[in-house]
Each structure stands twice: as C-alpha cells, then as structure tokens.
Amino acid sequence: MIRRSFVSAVAAASVVCATWIAGPAHAQSDTKVFRFVPHANLAVLDPIWTTAYVTRNHAYMVYDTLFSEDAQGNIKPQMVDTYSVSGDKKTWTFKLRSGLEFHDGKPVTSADVVASLKRWSSRDAMGGVLNTFIDRYDTPSADTFRMVLKEPCGIVLDALGKASSNVPFIMPERIANTPGTEQIKETVGSGPFIFKADEFQPGVKAVYLKNPKYKARNEPSSAMAGGRQVNFDRVEWVIIRDPQTQFNALKAGEVDMVEQPAFEQYNTLKQTAGVKVIDFSPAGLAFIMRFNHLHAPFNNPKIRQAAMMAMGQQAYIATQVGVPELGRVCRSIYPCGTMYADENTGDFTGVPNLAKAKALLAEGGYKGEPIVLMRPTDLASIAKIPLVAKQQLEAAGFKVDFQQMDWASLLARRAKKDAPSQGGWHLFLTAWTAGDISSPLTMAMLNAKGDNGWFGWQNEPRIEKLKADFARADSTAAKKKLASEIQAVAMETSTHAPLGQYQSPAAIRSNIDGVLVTPGVPLLWNITKK
Amino acid sequence: MTTFDKLWANGAFRFGAVVLGLVLLMALLAPVLGTVDPAQMDYNNINRSAGFAGNFTLTDGSSVAHHFWLGSDNFGRDLFSRVVYGARVSLVVAACTAAVALLIGVLVGMLAGYFRGADLLLMRFMDGLMAIPAILLAIALVAALGASITTVVIAIAIPEIPRVSRLVRSLVLTLREEPFVEAARALATPTPVILLRHILPNAMAPLLVQGTFVAASAVLTEAILSFLGLGLPANIPTWGNIMAEGRTQFSQYPGNVLYPALFLVPTVLAFNLLGDGLRDVLDPKFAKR
Amino acid sequence: MLRFVASRLLAVIPVLFVVSCVVFLILRLAPGDPAAVIAGNSATGAEIEQIRAKLGLNESLPVQYGIWISKVLQGDLGHSYFLNKPVSDLILQRLEPTASLALGTIVLAILLAVPLGTVAASRMGGGLDRLLSVISVAGFSVPVFVTGYVLIYLFSIQLQWLPVQGYEPLSGKGGLWAWARQLILPWLALSIIYVALIARITRASVSEALTEDYIRTARAKGLHERAVLLRHALRNAAVPIVTVIGIGVALLIGGVVVTETVFAIPGLGSLTVDVVLNRDFPVIQGLVLFFAVSYVVINLLVDLSYLLLDPRIRY
Amino acid sequence: MTTLHIEQLSVALPTGADRAHAVSGLSLSIEPGQTLCIVGESGSGKSVMATTVMGLLPKELHATQGRVLLNGESLLDASPQRLRDLRGKAMGMVFQEPMTALNPVMTCGEQIDELLREHTDWPREQRTQEIRRVLERVHIKDPERIMRSHPHQLSGGQRQRVVIAMAVILKPTLLICDEPTTALDVTTQKEILSLIAELQREQGSAVLFITHDMGVVADIANEVLVMHQGLCVESGPRDEVLLRPKADYTRMLLKAVPSMTPPPARPSPGGEPRLRATAVGKTYHSRDWMGRQHDTVALQHASLSLLGGETVGIVGESGSGKSTFARCLIRLIDPSDGQIHWGQDEVGQRPESQLRPLRHRVQVVFQDPNRSLNPRRTVGQSIVEGAMNFGASASQAQALAEQLIEQVRLPVESLKRYPSQFSGGQRQRIAIARALACKPEVLVADEAVSALDVSVQAQILELLRDIQRELGLGLLFITHDLRVAAQLCDRVIVMQHGQIVEQGFTSSLYAQPQHAYTQHLLACAPGGLAHVTH
C-alpha cells in the first residue's frame, strides 16, 4: 500500500529529461538570414534627434542619401543623378534618379528632400554651417531641387555626403516636418532595407527585410558610395549585452557578425574555428581628454600645456585596447591616415615629458588644488582610460580627485558650468570614431564659441574664423592648409589632448564575405554568406 | 558545557569559524604576503599566467622582482595582491552591511512589535521599501552619492532591513507574552528597559543567524553590483569587482574569475554554515529536539 | 474572506503612493539627465536645454508629478523618452520572458529543495544532513554569472546540446520545445540559488515540526517513518516554506538582471538596468508601480495560501 | 495469557545525564482486563518505560537488557516492520498533552482513517462507519461534525476522546496511557477515567496507566508499581500499597498529598483590606473577517477583599476566569468595568504611568518555572530588579537579595548562577524572592505550584505559609487543585464561566457546599477513598 517512493519518481523524470534535451543542436544557419550583433542597444530610431552611432547605423539600413563618401573619402552621387553649379557658384541644381520610391510605395520628390535637409541642418553642426550660406531652396519639378546660396560655399558636397552623425538622410515630407527637437514616430525610408516596426523589441532585436523595389546604382560598392546590393531576405539585429555571451554566440554560430567584440577576446577570436576577425574601419577611433577652459587651473594655458606634456599615448592603448597591433600613436588631432592628418604638433609628442610638465606646472603657479577627473563606471569601452590618466597626471605632480559615476551622470555633470568644487568638473575622457573628427567642421572639440561652444567652453575666435575660411575654400589643397593651421592653434591653446588611435575590428563567421571598409559605419549590404 | 563549547561541537559552526578566521587573518596580513599595490597597473605585465615570475614596475618607475602567484589581469595588476586586499573590502562590506541591517532592523522591529500604533505605519513603509527593486535603489544611490564603500553598504543593506525588522517584530510579539516580561511589568520596570534588558537579549540567537545570512548575501550582491558596473570603483579591489572585470575574457583567461571565486565561495559558505550552526545550537526551538 | 482581500488590495494604494513618490524624488535628485543622454556625445548645452524643455523636465517637481500621476490614474503610464513606445507595451513585452524564467526557476527549486531540506531535517546533525546543507549552501555561495558561464561553456560550447543565448516566445514557431531549450540553462543557473534558500527554511521548519507531540502520535499509529515525515511533519512546515517561496518569486519578478544579461533574455531586470542607466524616467516609474503591485499581489496570494495550508489561520 | 510481561528491563541514558539508566532492572506483568498503575515523580523513568514498550525510544536511548513480551511475543528484538504492525493494532497509546497530540492541519476523521488504511484493507464506507461507531463509544455527541472538524475547533476533553478512539478502534490487547488526564480539568478527568475503565471492560484489554497523582491511582488501579530514579521501589495490589506502604519513598509520596479535609478555620486577622475589588468585569472585543464584532465576556461583576496575613483561594476549572480576575487585580490587563483598590488607592482605571509608583504593593508568582525567569540574566540580577526600580542603591539591593535568597532556603552562591542551572522548584523559590524584593503587601500566586511534583509542591506551600506569617502578607492563591486550596486557604472563592458562584470559609465550604457546581467539583476530586489517604 506504500505509495511509489518519492526518490524513484524523481529518477524517472530525469531519464525523460535527458532524452528530451539531446534534440537538434544548432539553429540551422540559413544563408538567406543574416544575424548581426550591434555594439550597443538600439533604442532611439531617429538619426537626426540623436547623434548615437547605433541609431546612425540603423538609419543607413533604412534611409538613402543624396551623396555618399567612397573608400578614398571622395563624395559620390547616390540618389542624385546629375547636378550643376551656376557660374557665380551660388546656385546648385540637383536632379534625382528616376524611379526612387519610399517603402510606403510613394515616389521620392524634391519636396521630401528639402524638408529632410531643413530638419537635418536644424540639428547638425556642419548642416548649421551650410545653413549660414543658404538663401533659399527651390523645387522647380518633382525630381529637381535647387539650392540658392548667399555666397559661394566649398562644403556643399561635403555636407550632403557627410559620413557620420548626423547624416542627411532623406525621409518622406510628412515625417521630415516633425521639429528637430521631437522624435519622429514612423520609420519610412527609401533605403535598401525595410524596417519591420511590428517585430521591433527594444533591448531584444530589430528586424529588416530586403527592399525588392530598391534601385541600386550600378557602380561597384566603395564604402557608403556605389551600388547597395542586398544578398539577404531578412537581417536581424540581435542585442546581446554581455561580451562573453557575444563571443559564445558567434562561436556556436547563433549569430553571423559581432560589430565590436571586447578587445580582450581579439587573440582568441583569431584562433577560433569558424570565426575570423576583419577590420572594416581602418581609421578606427581615437581617445581624447578634454579640459574645462572656464575654471582654474585649466583656464591657464600653461597648466593645460603641462597636462598634455604628461600624457603617454602608449599606456592608454595598452590598457584599454590591450592588443598592440590594434593601436597606434597619433599626435595629430585628426585621425592618422585620413585627409587632414598632420604630424607637426609643436611640443606635444604623445610621449610623457615629465620634466617639461613639472616646469610648466611651476610656471603656471599650480598650488596642488585637486583636479576633478570624471570616470564612467558602466561604459566598458572607455572605463579604463581615466585610471591611466589619473596615474600619469599624478606622476607629473597633479593632485587628482577621482569622481566615479555612471555615464548618464557624467553627461549631465559635463553640461554644468559650475565650479568643479560645486558639482562641476576639470577633466573628462571620451572616444570618437574617425568619421566624427576627420573634418574640422564636424570635430566637436573645435567648437570654440565660448559659452555656446562644446563642453569645456573654450573661447578661441581664431579657430572659428579659420573654420569659416575652411568652409569657403573650394580646393582640397586650400582645405588641407587651413586644417593644419587649425591644428596649430588647437595645439597652442591645447583645446584637448589626443590620447592615441585604435581600431576596433569586428568578428564574423568564416562563411561571410564582402564586408565594406568605411570610416566607422558597419554596412550590411554587399555582404554574402556561403 | 558553556555555550561556546556547544557551538564548537557543532560541525557547521566549526567549519564556518575556521574558514572565516583564515580569511580574516589573510586580510590582516595582506601587506606581508608577498603582495604589491593592488591598484598599480604595469602594462608590460598584462594577462600573465599563474605562477609567472618576473618584475613589477611601481609608480615611481622602478621595478621590483615579483612572483605573480595568480597571474595578472588585463590591466597588468597583480591578481594575487588584488584578491588578498580584496578580502579586506569584502569582509568590511559583509560586516558593515550586516551591522547596518541588524541595527536599523532591530530598532524598527522592536518599535513595531511592542507598540501597536507604530506597527501599522512602520510595516506599510517596510512593504513599500521592499517593493522597490534592490537594483534600482543601488543604482540610484551609487549615482547620487558616487561609488564608495559606504554607498555600496547602504545600497545592499536597505533591501535587507525590511526582512530583519519583520523577523524582530515576530520575535518581540512572542517574547512580549512571556511570563518573565509580564513579571518585569509588574515590577514597574519602564518599557525601554524591558525592551533592552529582557526582550533584546532573548532575540539575539535568531538575529545572529539572520546577520550571518545578510553578510553572506552582501558579499554576493557586491559582486552583482560590480558586474553591472555599479560596485566599488576599480582601484578599490573586492572579489566582486575583480570577477566582474575579468568576465569579458572568461574563455581566454578564466583565472580572473575563478581565482577570486576560490576565495569568495568558501567565505560565503562559511558565513552560511556559521549561521546554520548558530541556529541549531542557540535557537531554543531546536535545543528541545 | 472578501473583505480581507479587499482591504489588502486597498492597502496597495498607500504603498503605491509612497513608493512612487520616493522613486520620483530619487530620480529627480540623483545626478544624470535623460536629455544629456539623448543629445549624445557631440551635443552642445543649448541642444540639451531644448530637449529638456520638450520633455517637460524644467517644470517644478510637483507639477511634473501631478501630470504623471493624473495620466496614470487614467491607465496611461506615459511614453518612454527613448523608445518611442508606451511604457505599458514595454513592460508587457518583457513579461513573458520574466514570467517563464521566474516560474521555471521556482518550480525546479521547489522540486529540488523541499526533498533536500526534508531529508536533511530527518537526519538532523548526521553526516547526510551536513552534506546536504553544504550542497544547498554551496549553490548559494557562487555568483550567478560564474555558474552561467560555466554552464554555457559545458552545455553550449563543448556538448552543443543547448543554445548559448536568446529567447523564443512560447507562441513562436518552435513552440514549447524551442521555448524550453533556451531556458534550461538559465533555470539551472538560477534555481541553484533558490534551492539553497528554500532548503534551509524547509530543514529548519520540518525539524521544528518533528519535535511536536502529534509526530509521536503518528508514530504510535504504526505509520512508516516516511509517511510521518511527509504527511505530518512536512505538511505542518508548509507555512514558512510557502513564505520563503513567495519572497523568491518576488525577487525573480523583480528581474534577475545578471542571468538575463548572461543569457541575453529580454526580462524586466535588464530593462530596469537599461532605463535606469539612461534615466528614462517614465519607464522607471512605470516599472516601479508594476513591481509594487506584483509584490503586494504575491504577498496576498501567499497569505491566502496559508488558509489552505493551516486551518487554524482565519482572516 | 499475560498481555504484557516485562523482565529485568534496563534502558541506558546517554553519557553526561544525571544517572546511568533511565530504567534499571524493572519487572512487571499485566493480565487481560487488569489495570497496572505506574506512579512516580517526574524523572522517575515511567514515561521512558512506556515508550520502550511501544518501540518509540529516541535515538539517544536504547534498552540494554531485559525482555518485553506482548502476548508472548518479544518486542525488543522484533523487526521495525513488525513493531509498526503491532502499534495501533495490538497496542495503543494515549498521551499527556491533548491540545498538541493531534495533527493541527488534518481533520480528526482523516487522522483516524489513516490508522485504518495502514492496518486494514477495509473499503472507504466500512472505515467511515467504524470511525463513527468508535466515536460514539467514546461518548462524542456529534461524530459527523467531529470527523470533519480540525483539532483546534475541539475542547481539551473532546481531543483526548479522539486520541483514545484512535488508540482503541482496532481493539488492541494492551492500552498504554501516559498521564492522559493530567492536563485536564477535574470534571473532564473523571469522565475520561471512567471511559477508559468502560472500554477496558468491553474489550478486556490490559491497561498500563502512568500517573504522578495518588488520587487517580486510588480510583482506577488494580495493581500499583511505585518508581523512583528508574527503580521499582514497591509493587502490589492497590489497597496493599496505599494502605500499608512498605517503602519509605511511598510513604513520603502519600504524606505529601494534601488532604481534602481543611484544618479548622483561623481567626480573621482584621485590619484594613490590602486588596479590594468591587464588581470587576472584563470583555474582549474582536472583529472577524466579515467585520462582525465578537464580544467574549471573560469576567463579570467579581468582587473580593483581602486582609493582611489572610490567604484567599480562587478555585475553578480552566476557562472559569480565575486567571483573568488575577491579572486584572495585578493590573497586567485593564478591567472593562468595576473598581480595584490597592490599600486606599483606586487603580482600576489608572494609566500605566500613575500605576508604576504603586506597583510595589502587589506582586505575582506565575505557573511555569521555565519561563518566569529571564534566561539571559543571573538570579541575583533578577531579584534586585524590583528593589532597584523603587530606588534601592546597588549595595542595598545586593544585601536584600542575599537576605531573601536565604529566606527562600537557597544557598547564597546561587545569586551568581543562571536560571537554567536550577530545578523547577528552585526556580519558583527564586521567583518568590524576586516578588518579595520590593516588600509587597499582597502576593498573588497564579497556579504557582501546579507545574511541580507533589513532594516539591509541599515544600513550596510550606515556604509560602512561613513567609506569610513572617511578613504578614495578604496571599491570593489561584489554583484548580482543590486539595491544595483546602490546606492553604482561609477563605475560598469558587468561579465558573467568569462568575463567582460561591465563597466562604474553607472548612465550612468543603463540609457543606451550597452551590451545585461546588458540590460537583468536590465529588469529582480524585482519591475517593478519602479516608485512605489520612
């Protein structure tokens, strides 16, 4: 009468489980689906409303651009078929390619283009500069629009073909009319992929389908320019937060590409079967340290100079990146290997010169007041460099008050102009992709308009004037000369300290090919999967 | 046989006490155990394997011969030094969290247990406190006060306070009815004296037990906070943030996670078994068995 | 009974009010500003101000709270600053993964912990008791991300039996099997912790029940020791066990951030961390209300279960 | 065939206990239909012997030698499986604490049904029918309801009847009763004892009855065996042992039982009443889950006055309100109505703060010796607490403590030791010393001796009489034991259902009880052979 004993019941259950588990192992990797792991969680979908890189990358999938930059940095037409400039260089006429259509089936018209350009230039720095030149826009016909300038401007094409945030993407007029400070409600573009809004789960995944009606250009792809051939029916962005899980998922074949694997995994990735490492952005990224020009002691150029003398780029690369071949010393404020990079940077060599640093400190009358250095605790990609900065500044004789906080607090505190001891700051460090700092007009640190300049609020009219000349210059040689002059002033007034350049290669399955080289944007067209 | 002999006879208590004693000893003797400054980064000694013998560059640039018993992390910091010094912070976090949680918990629990009026108000507030997810509280505190030992202790202690106060309240409710408490009232002993002299000493046993469990979970929660980037800053090593930082390269250099775990697991185990031992010996309900 | 349930549910109102006020203040007083996060790295102070104005963050605190609470009373939890989705959708989307993770873990934990604790209690102080205690406590002593990585390394990488990460909804094409396969490892990693919690309480309350007189009566009836243990001791020990299970479920609903991060499961935990780090105020406040209500409901269910477990308890 | 035969049984105690064997060299035998009464004080080993027979010894104890035969079958070397078959079928057991003997979460019907499912393969209807019949046999009025109800819904007496029903349903040849009526009221005790006798006659089973109460032995025993420290001190037919006790220990036990006939009344000491209560009442208000208010009246218009040097007893069964009345008088609870005077001061409606200065006048000694002293404080610290509260300095209080500890006949060293190191009787002495520390005018003893063995009880009563004579205290003695009241109290108040039904001088009240309830109470007191005991 004794009921079945408990122990044997549990034993039977576990036998059943074992057979049930050993079912099919892998999710079969179907060649018509591409699974991509972005470097961050895709939250905001409006590429104008925020400059976040992940939103920019998402927008490249869904929207199309008038012009786009090729691998050599030249601006090539994309949606524009032909364009002409009037004799006095004040009127630009653009004619769109025929048959361009939005995902909701409506044709792309010049009215859509003008509305999109207006919304873009209300938020983008370079767009802002362009706006100062523009008198008005005309839309003579559905496929032609005209830009009338007050005076000749050398950066029209540079602006319309701009590679990084905010990119002048073209949206339907009804959406583009949303004010720049408000987020758009719908994602409808004319790009190579269609965004499946219903399958979008923030923090989980985003789904894009191939746009069958997309009319790709017939030139070969080169960076953002050329034909945008799509070889997949469905692309899934899979959000995986934990770097170790990203590594495991790629190894197990559950995902096809990881945009930014942790640097520590680089060597192991190279030896892992079925996986290879590719560098789609040779120009890579760069670390910088920004001074607060408003408050003592860094309002004194000598003390800023002293801090720059203490900086050793090698240590930043070694600790944050850790893989020697991925990093390089680069003295220039522009990424080495891009158009305007220039080696002559005065005394700043990127190698610590403690003697000079101490001398400058003495000259500047530094009395040892603590320097508030902010460090983000939750952003792994730049969490380690402040520790290096603290060590190097202390070696030079600075006293450092190390403030640790999460990224959101740092962004908020960075925007405060109060004195460092009352909730303000002296120093913070961050990183930029090459695309953002390859042109003086897009480099935030060169926004030296004082109180309404970039954080740090440097007031240096010489930089602003040179940037205006740069915008008017029409030949590459002239632009190069002006860029070097800007760098010279930047170094003299130490706007910020470049702390080394590094690449952040992606990791892909070995059966993937055709990943385009770009100034930092992962492009998912042109890719093939065997 | 004094209470301590009875406790020592209990296997669980003995294991817990011995292990905790060893860890405490290691923490106190940290400077002499062949360690270097745990926060010092030497970037030409990155990711050394365990047992590597080389030399370690100090802040002033000079280098000293050093044996990397447990290798080094991806910062080039000596893992053995970080683990040994980490013991200090982890034990401090555990002890302080338990103390804070018990102190405030006893205060609230006693008031709620003895005075009907206060009971409703306090317990509803405790419910409210328990309803706020611990992670949100921790993040808000660390964000507001900056990451330091005190913030982390408060962040871990606050979610424990409602549990402790609920335990104390139930103890007070039962002890209140005991004849020796009624006799004290008949002897005109003032209420606060009754609480401190008669009720608290008899609630000590279950409180100590709860204290050890709070300490154990404190060491673990600190590791979780570090995992989320909200624990103590990197230059103050704790087992939690060593493991959290080492996790990105778990497949490549598992040592960064496993070596601290070799210390963390026995310590948390010791806290828990200490608690079990205390409960089995001191708790009157069990003594009867 | 109805009056008790009604009064307990009504008691939620003050708790919700207190909780929402406290959280509202913490968020506004803590440093960090959603506008700064939205504007991104290369924004200027002016742009941040524009966004703050648009989001209504410059109003006085009482006004902001008033606007928010009035909308909540009409059932609208507001819109996320970032995700352009109503807060309620965000929470609902994350509910199924969290629920599957929580329920699976608790069921597995109970199946392991209750027998473990009962056997340990019956052989109190013996070798087996100490061994079982160490096993259950060992589970509790390892941080979950360590167990998670080890499990993935063994079962996904080496044996390739189970997937590394991801979550397949139950209604998805894979159906039950695809759903379960994804969750086996997280269930294991998590339940080890709750086994320790539940086993200890089971051991304590069962061994306490074994000292009672009715156990002697049961034995005097000639019942087998196992029947005495299960039908008499365990049933009487049910109330404290159910209480700790209630606490466990509340913790699990609160989101197990680490497990969700390691196994890339879109639960409420990782949503909480995301929105708090981004200072997405409306979502945080919505989440806190949800947690408060679920916490109170769970407690109510636990209290009601007491009625089934112990006839002496009447509300 | 002898039902139970025990020869030279010895059960060893674990090392470190106060003696080597709980039971040593015990022999006895019981014929069918006979009742053997084992009598002895707590710690004499009588319960251990009973549990050995049932094979329920805890792990730490084991039978080292001797034989236990049930209907000729040896139990000591029977297999656990065989023992389980016998338990409940061939031998049944009834325990002391009816309140906790039944599983609180199972209905009574289920608990009996479990026994039947274990030992028989009767179908459900037959089992339910058997249960209903056995409940009727144990005089339970409404078997259907009792089967469906849970233990907490039954009174002590009803619960004990269910336990007995469970023990006798399969008509076992041996019925072991381990102090089955000790925790019950006198009236319920009488019904249970006659029920056991009736069942024994019907089923012809042998009964092994364990008790410490000589009165119960006198009522039901055929044979008697007196145990002390694990040894059999004396055994034989009831009248032999009770009337012509041979062993000194047996004689001491019989002498310690207070006689039912009170001594002649002492003259009233006169003077102002130290404690006066007029029409005191207490009603508890509670709201149930439907919101309806429930008022339970625990005490109604109870009055009394107590003079210095006089002893007044309050007698009644549990639930009669005597404890509630005492707690109102000591003002541990607030009376709902009526007045209470300590000396001249009215204290009934006073708030605690105003009561505190007067509290030294009335002190109390509680029933349970294990819980009336704070285990975490030394005896000295407990005693001085009262004196210190009323302004005595540390040295004065210490001197007073030393004087009081001797007054209650305990060595001075005990002041430094902890309560856990003392016996029940010694702890009651300490509690009395503590009460005397603030020089009270009235001492209230709430069942102060009922938890003690008879011999220890006698010493404490002696102590109380001496203290009252020396200090001229007013003594209010609350008890359910009519014998103790008879010997100690000058006047007795009888309470039932929260009301005073009769009061008067002890000698006249015991000789000619007026109220029917008092008559019934006196009749039910065990030890009918009143003349035997003195």
pLDDT above 50: residue D413: yes
pTM of the model: 0.82
Half-sphere exposure of D422 (CA within 13 A, CB side): 26
For residue A14, what pLDDT is reported? Answer: 47
Q: How many CB pairs under 8 A join B and C?
A: 142
Cα dist. A160→A131, A173, B194 in Å? 12, 17, 81
For residue A230, what pLDDT is reported? Answer: 92
Q: Are residues D398 and D448 in the same domain?
A: yes
Chain D nearest-CA residue for C233: D103
Q: Are residues A471 and A342 in the same domain?
A: yes
The CATH number of residue A86's host domain is: 3.90.76.10
D193 vs D157: CA distance, rounded Å: 11
Mean pLDDT value across residues A308-326: 88
pLDDT in tens, D178-234: 999 888 888 888 889 999 999 998 889 999 999 988 888 888 899 999 999 889 999
Instruction: Tell me which amino acid residue D119 is.
Output: H
The CA-based angle A313-A317-A318, given to 5 degrees, is: 115
The DSSP bridge pattern shows strands D73-74 and D62-70 to be antiparallel
Q: Are residues A129 and A34 in the same domain?
A: no
Residue from the list A242, A391, A404 with its beta carbon closest to the beta carbon of B147: A404
Please indicate, yes or no, if residue D275 is contained in any of the structural domains: no
Chain C nearest-CA residue for D150: C311
Burial of A192 (0-12, 13-18, 19+ CB in 10 A): buried
Grade residue D289 by pLDDT with cuts at 50, 70 and 90: low
pLDDT above 90: residue A34: yes
A35 vs A3, residue with greater confidence: A35
Mean pLDDT value across residues A498-525: 92
pLDDT above 90: residue B106: yes
The DSSP bridge pattern shows strands A427-433 and A80-85 to be unpaired
For chain A, how many structural domains are there in total? 3
For residue B77, what pLDDT is reported? Answer: 83
Cis ω for the linkage preceding D369 (within 30 of 0): no
Instruction: Identify any residues that bridge with D445 across adjacent strands, giving them in sequence order.
Output: D365, D477
| Chain B residues touching A391 at Cβ < 8 A | 41, 59
D contact set with A (CB within 8 A): 117-118, 121
Cis ω for the linkage preceding A166 (within 30 of 0): yes
Q: Are residues D507 and D444 in the same domain?
A: yes
Q: Are residues D284 and D232 in the same domain?
A: no
What is the ipTM, given to two decimal places?
0.79
For residue A165, what pLDDT is reported? Answer: 80
A460 vs A438: CA distance, rounded Å: 20
Q: Are residues D75 and D28 in the same domain?
A: yes
The DSSP bridge pattern shows strands A496-502 and A327-328 to be antiparallel
Q: Are residues A435 and A525 in the same domain?
A: no
List Cβ neighbours of C278 (8 Å cut-off, separation of 6 or more): A43, A408, C34, C37, C81, C82
pLDDT above 60: residue D529: no
Angle, helices C127-141/C87-122, rounded to nearest 10 degrees: 160
Mean pLDDT value across residues D301-311: 90
For residue A97, what pLDDT is reported? Answer: 92
For residue C84, what pLDDT is reported? Answer: 76
Of B80-84, C130-134, D325-329, which gets the smallest average pLDDT? C130-134
What's the N-to-C CA distance of chain C in angstroms?
6
Grade residue A29 by pLDDT with cuts at 50, 70 and 90: low
Q: Quick check: C30 and A409 CB within 8 A? A: yes
Number of CB atoms found within 10 A of residue C115's CB: 18
Q: Is B78 helix (H, G, I), strand (E, B) or coil?
A: strand
Burial of B21 (0-12, 13-18, 19+ CB in 10 A): exposed
Task: Give the closest-approach CA distance of A44 to chain C in angstroms.
Answer: 5
Grade residue D82 by pLDDT with cuts at 50, 70 and 90: very high
Task: Give the closest-approach CA distance of B115 to chain D in angstroms.
Answer: 14
For residue B163, what pLDDT is reported? Answer: 86
For residue D530, what pLDDT is reported? Answer: 44
Three state DSSP letters for C221-279: CCCCHHHHHHHHHHHHCHHHHHHHHHHHHHHHHCCCHHHHHHCCCCCHHHHHHHHHHHC
Chain A nearest-CA residue for B229: A378
pLDDT in tens, C97-142: 999 999 999 999 999 999 989 998 888 777 888 888 788 777 777 8
pLDDT in tens, C35-61: 888 877 777 888 888 888 888 888 888
Task: Give the closest-approach CA distance of C169 to chain A in angstroms.
Answer: 12
Please indicate, yes or no, if residue A128 is contained in any of the structural domains: yes
Give me the phi and psi of C190, to 5 degrees please: -80, -40
For chain D, how many structural domains are there in total? 2
| Chain A residues touching B76 at Cβ < 8 A | 318-319
Grade residue C255 by pLDDT with cuts at 50, 70 and 90: low
Please indicate, yes or no, if residue A187 is contained in any of the structural domains: no
Q: Quick check: C44 and A21 CB within 8 A? A: no
Please indicate, yes or no, if residue A457 is contained in any of the structural domains: yes
List Cβ neighbours of A370 (8 Å cut-off, separation of 6 or more): A399, A400, A401
D252 vs D245: CA distance, rounded Å: 10
- DSSP-derived letter for residue B222 is H
pLDDT above 50: residue B119: yes
C281 vs C28: CA distance, rounded Å: 9
Task: Give the closest-approach CA distance of A355 to chain B in angstroms.
Answer: 14
For residue D291, what pLDDT is reported? Answer: 60
For residue C16, what pLDDT is reported? Answer: 84
Residue from the list D330, D355, D385 with its beta carbon closest to the beta carbon of B184: D385
For residue A4, what pLDDT is reported? Answer: 44
What range defines the domain where residue D143 resides?
4-255
Q: Are residues A110 and A256 in the same domain?
A: no
What range defines the domain where residue A354 resides?
285-502
Q: Quick check: B133 and C255 CB within 8 A? A: yes
Rama region for B146: left / alpha / beta (φ>0; ψ in -120 to 50; rest): left
For residue A11, what pLDDT is reported? Answer: 53
**Mean pLDDT across chain C:** 86
For residue A1, what pLDDT is reported? Answer: 39
Q: Are residues D285 and D330 in the same domain?
A: yes
Q: Are residues A484 and A514 in the same domain?
A: no
pLDDT in tens, A426-462: 999 999 988 889 889 889 899 898 888 889 999 999 9
The CATH number of residue A219's host domain is: 3.40.190.10
Q: Quick check: A264 and B253 CB within 8 A? A: yes
Q: Quick check: A455 and C44 CB within 8 A? A: yes
For residue A149, what pLDDT is reported? Answer: 92
Of A406-415, B128-137, D402-411, D435-444, which gets the smallest average pLDDT? B128-137
Please indicate, yes or no, if residue A52 is contained in any of the structural domains: no
D58 vs D42: CA distance, rounded Å: 18
Please indicate, yes or no, if residue A453 is contained in any of the structural domains: yes
Question: Using CB atoms, which chains have 3+ pairs under 8 A with D?
Answer: A, B, C
Q: Are D17 and D195 in contact (CB under 8 A)?
A: no
D102 vs D118: CA distance, rounded Å: 17
Q: Are residues D237 and D93 in the same domain?
A: yes
| Chain B residues touching D363 at Cβ < 8 A | 186-187
Q: Are residues A230 and A304 in the same domain?
A: no
Contact of D209 with chain C, judged by CB distance below 8 Å, is answered with no
pLDDT in tens, B124-176: 788 778 777 777 777 778 767 777 888 889 988 988 898 888 888 888 888 88
Q: Are residues A75 and A38 in the same domain?
A: no
Please indicate, yes or no, if residue B61 is contained in any of the structural domains: no
Contact of B132 with chain C, judged by CB distance below 8 Å, is answered with yes
For residue B21, what pLDDT is reported? Answer: 93
Domain C91-314 of CATH type 1.10.3720.10: yes
Q: Are residues D368 and D449 in the same domain?
A: yes
Residue from the list C22, C210, C257 with its beta carbon closest to the beta carbon of B135: C257
**Mean pLDDT across chain A:** 88
Mean pLDDT value across residues D2-9: 92
Grade residue A377 by pLDDT with cuts at 50, 70 and 90: confident
Please indicate, yes or no, if residue D267 is contained in any of the structural domains: no
Please indicate, yes or no, if residue D189 is contained in any of the structural domains: yes
Mean pLDDT value across residues A172-197: 91
Chain C nearest-CA residue for B132: C288
Could you give the percent of chain C with pLDDT greater than 70? 99
Please indicate, yes or no, if residue D387 is contained in any of the structural domains: yes
The CATH number of residue A447's host domain is: 3.10.105.10
Q: Quick check: B197 and D377 CB within 8 A? A: yes
For chain B, how many structural domains are there in total? 1
Q: Quick check: A247 and B146 CB within 8 A? A: no
H helix intervals, B54-189: 79-114, 116-131, 134-145, 149-176, 179-186
Cα dist. A474→A156, A469, D244, D346 in Å? 10, 10, 136, 108
Residue from the list C137, C149, C284 with its beta carbon closest to the beta carbon of B136: C284
Q: Are residues D321 and D244 in the same domain?
A: no
Q: Are residues A344 and A486 in the same domain?
A: yes
A9 vs A57, residue with greater confidence: A57
Chain A nearest-CA residue for B39: A387
Number of CB atoms found within 10 A of residue A149's CB: 20
Among C276, C279, C299, the residue to mutate for chain B (most B Cβ within 10 A): C276
Q: Quick check: A319 and B59 CB within 8 A? A: no
pLDDT above 90: residue B243: no
H helix intervals, A148-242: 156-160, 173-176
Contact of A247 with chain C, judged by CB distance below 8 Å, is answered with no
Contact of D434 with chain B, judged by CB distance below 8 Å, is answered with yes
Task: Give the closest-approach CA distance of A252 to chain C in angstroms.
Answer: 7
pLDDT in tens, C160-194: 888 888 888 887 777 888 889 889 999 999 998 88
pLDDT above 90: residue B279: no
Q: Are residues D197 and D333 in the same domain?
A: no
The CATH number of residue B156's host domain is: 1.10.3720.10
Please indicate, yes or no, if residue B151 is contained in any of the structural domains: yes
What's the N-to-C CA distance of chain B in angstroms?
18
pLDDT in tens, B163-212: 888 888 888 888 888 899 999 999 989 988 999 999 988 888 888 888 88
Instruction: Identify any residues that bridge with C236 across adjacent strands, giving them in sequence order.
Output: none
Q: Quick check: B229 and A315 CB within 8 A? A: no
Give me the sheet containing A91-96, strands edge to edge.
A80-85, A91-96, A144-149, A134-141
**Mean pLDDT across chain D:** 89
Q: Are residues A456 and A311 in the same domain?
A: yes
Q: Quick check: A377 and B250 CB within 8 A? A: no
The DSSP bridge pattern shows strands D91-94 and D174-178 to be parallel
Chain A nearest-CA residue for B247: A244
For residue A302, what pLDDT is reported? Answer: 92
Chain D window 376-405: which residues touch B at a Cβ cutoff of 8 Å?
Answer: 376-377, 382, 385-386, 389-390
A408 vs A183: CA distance, rounded Å: 20
For residue D157, what pLDDT is reported? Answer: 86
Q: Quick check: C143 and B264 CB within 8 A? A: yes
| Chain A residues touching D122 at Cβ < 8 A | none
A150 vs A156: CA distance, rounded Å: 13
The CATH number of residue D221's host domain is: 3.40.50.300
Q: How many CB pairs under 8 A join A and D?
A: 3
| Chain D residues touching C220 at Cβ < 8 A | 54, 56, 87-88, 92-93, 95, 167
Contact of B134 with chain C, judged by CB distance below 8 Å, is answered with yes
pLDDT above 90: residue D268: no
Q: Are residues D238 and D298 in the same domain?
A: no
A contact set with D (CB within 8 A): 1
- In the numeric block, which tokens belong to residue A177? 């009319």
Residue from the list B44, B234, B249 with its beta carbon closest to the beta carbon of A262: B249
